Amino acid sequence: MYNLGNPPSVFISHSKHDSENIIFFTKILANTGLKGTFMEWENIDNQYAGSRIADIIRSDVQENTDAIIVLLGQSLENPPAESKQYTHNWVNFEVGVAAGCRKPVWVFEEFNKFHKFPIPYITDYAQYEINNNEHLQYYTNVLKDRILTSYNNVKPVKSVTCQHKDCNASYRLWSRSKTIYCPVCRRLTGGNLPDGIKPFTWLFFSVTQVLAVQGQNECEYNHLLHPGCKTSCYF
């Protein structure tokens, strides 16, 4: 169980110009109770930015950072000309620090928005639609389960290994899409939906089926993803 007085936090690697992505994710944080660190290097007064950022990401006590989340948006791929080099370097640095201390690196990217910005180390990849309340609720429950409480009751869609042998990256996939571009090498690596099925359409199992598998009196997945629903369950 997490410490109520010092809940886990996540470090948000982002471009400040991707305002819609930031707003969407701020709502998720507010719903989960997770603390989020959105840091702009130019606003760190009288401190060496690299040292301060590294300390926050590595922290297991004061900031209690449990994971880093990369908001992969248009301005992260193509920042304003005056800040392009700085933005790319800082994001790569932040991901590298997290990888060095073996903390999860989540990449969030909008559906149908391919950004040619590879993330060299990743543990989790998630796609979403901005202003989609279903996606907002889904990722609220995922992050609450996987990061805030570490119960790990909500399972990913599947574990993926990139089919390109010179990449071979492995990560958990949290969304369904007809096409997937590997977030590490940014090449097409297949999809996990048959033709005619829309992204984020989930397979349903009856509660009795799930209970038979789990051996529980009530469906934990059901309450995590659709609170109050007693008839079907995301699995």
Closest CA relative to residue 139, chosen from 16, 21, 2: 21
Kindly report the backbone phi and psi dihedral angles of residue 95, in degrees, each rounded to the nearest multiple of 5, phi listed first: -65, -40
pLDDT of 122 higher than 90: yes
pLDDT at residue number 85: 79
pLDDT at residue number 49: 84
How far apart CA 132 and CA 128 sit, in angstroms, is: 8
pLDDT at residue number 5: 67
Q: What is the mean pLDDT of residues 101-129?
A: 96
**Crossing angle for the helix pair 19-32 and 133-143, nearest 10 degrees?**
50
pTM (two decimals): 0.80
DSSP 215: T
pLDDT of 189 higher than 50: yes
Range with lowest mean pLDDT among 147-156, 169-178, 205-214:
205-214
pLDDT of 28 higher than 50: yes
Tokens of 119: 């993330």
pLDDT confidence tier of residue 225, bands split at 50, 70 and 90: very low
Asked whether 204 and 233 are in contact (CB, 8 A), the reply is: yes
Q: In the chain, what are the domains?
A: 9-173 (3.40.50.10140), 204-234 (no CATH)
- Percent pLDDT > 90 in the chain is 62
pLDDT at residue number 187: 95
pLDDT of 58 higher than 70: yes
